[in-house]
């Protein structure tokens, strides 16, 4: 998907975000796995900044001006910057104790993003990623059916927001878990990649 399209989609989605979005189970996974040392924490693709606000990140960036404007409105005391992740990371080698990113890295070249993140982590720093993966195919049918049924029961987002995400998602492609593990294994030896029920995976890596 083109960068301008991503920006436009998320500017529109920002205007539809509920005032107090509920934390997803994977957001809670991020909170539970923050490292003890976190003097400098970066969130990549912060959206309206809900997680950044709860964590107290040092920096939080997003490509979409609409998302950043909304994040600043909701938490004026925090630092939110409209920036592309590659430009931001290139200027900040060995800077962060923790870098986290939720539902964002599938928009960019995954291998290039991991290499850039790796450079910007301090030795001993931690990367936490939550993102979507491709679980299509007949062998996943039972698991997908269960996930669909439970997702319907848990549904809390406004209808217009769901529609906007659905339209954005129609142009997206995701890596399979196998591809994610291969790329992460090469870029970040020892990275732990785990699937979750709702089409997302978690990745945790500690930089030696
Ligand atoms: C699905 S939203 C997720 C937002 C938030 N993390 C959440 O979970 O609600 C993906 C976000 O990634 C941002 N994004 C996409 N490509 C980016 C890039 N190259 N650099 C920084 N942010 C990017 C989009 O603008 C969008 O706000």
Closest residue by CA, ligand 1 atom 27: 47
Ligand 1 nearest-atom number relative to CA 27: 8
The rounded distance, in Å, linking the Cα atoms of 53 and 116 is 24
Tell me the C-alpha distance between 69 and 66, whole Å.
Answer: 5
pLDDT in tens, 37-53: 999 999 999 999 999 99
Counting beta carbons within 10 angstroms of the beta carbon of residue 69, is it exposed (0 to 12), middle (13 to 18) or buried (19 or more)? middle
pTM, rounded to two decimals:
0.94
Range name among 93-102, 131-140, 154-163 with the lowest pLDDT average: 154-163
Q: pLDDT of 58-106, one tens digit each?
A: 999 999 999 999 999 999 999 999 999 999 999 999 999 999 999 999 9
Q: Is 67 in the pocket of ligand 1 (CB under 6 A)?
A: yes
**Has residue 111 got a pLDDT over 80?**
yes
- Is the distance from the beta carbon of residue 61 to the nearest atom of ligand 1 less than 6 Å? yes
Lowest-confidence pick of 53-57, 93-97, 126-130: 53-57
Residue 172 confidence class, pLDDT cut points 50, 70, 90: confident
Q: Which two tokens stand for residue 94?
A: 């060995």
User: What are residue 204's DSSP bridge partners?
Assistant: 128, 192
Predicted confidence at residue 1, as pLDDT, reads 67
CB of residue 107 inside a 6 A radius of ligand 1: yes
Looking at the CA of residue 43, tell me the nearest atom of ligand 1.
6
So what's the pLDDT on residue 81?
A: 98
Alpha helices in 24-176 (DSSP H): 25-32, 50-55, 65-74, 85-90, 110-120, 141-154, 159-169
Position in ligand 1 atom list of the atom nearest CA 46:
6
Q: How far is the CA of 59 from the centre of ligand 1 (A)?
A: 14
**pLDDT score recorded for residue 101:** 98
Distance between start and end Cα atoms, the chain: 34
Q: Is 164 in the pocket of ligand 1 (CB under 6 A)?
A: no
Name residues whose C-beta falls within 8 Å of residue 103's C-beta, 6 or more positions apart in sequence: 45, 130, 131, 132, 200
CA–centroid distance, 105 to ligand 1, in Å, is: 8
Q: Is 130 in the pocket of ligand 1 (CB under 6 A)?
A: no
Residue whose Cα lies nearest atom 16 of ligand 1: it is 107
pLDDT digits (tens, 9 = 90+) for 1-30: 688 889 988 998 998 888 777 788 899 999
Task: Give the pLDDT band (50/70/90) at residue 32.
Answer: very high
Q: How do residues 174-195 score in pLDDT, each as one tens digit?
A: 999 999 999 999 999 999 999 9
Contact predicate 26/102, CB 8 Å: yes
């Amino acid at each position: 998907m083109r960068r301008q399209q991503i920006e436009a989609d998320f500017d529109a989605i920002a205007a539809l975000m509920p005032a107090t979005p509920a934390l997803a189970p994977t957001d809670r996974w991020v909170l539970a796995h923050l490292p003890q040392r976190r003097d400098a924490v970066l969130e990549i693709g912060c959206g309206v900044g809900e997680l950044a606000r709860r964590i107290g990140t040092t920096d939080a960036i997003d490509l979409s001006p609409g998302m950043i404007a909304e994040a600043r409105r909701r938490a004026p005391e925090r630092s939110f910057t409209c920036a592309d992740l590659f430009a931001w990371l290139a200027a900040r080698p060995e800077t962060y104790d923790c870098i986290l990113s939720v539902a964002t890295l599938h928009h960019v070249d995954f291998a290039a993003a991991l290499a850039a993140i790796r450079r910007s982590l301090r030795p001993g720093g931690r990367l936490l990623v939550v993102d979507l993966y491709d679980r299509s195919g007949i062998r996943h049918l039972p698991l997908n059916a269960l996930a669909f049924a439970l997702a319907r029961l848990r549904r809390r987002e406004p209808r217009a927001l769901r529609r906007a995400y659905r339209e954005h998602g129609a142009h997206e492609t995701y890596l399979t878990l196998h591809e994610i593990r291969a790329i992460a294994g090469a870029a970040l030896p020892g990275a732990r990649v785990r699937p979750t029920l709702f089409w997302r995976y978690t990745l945790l890596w500690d930089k030696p």
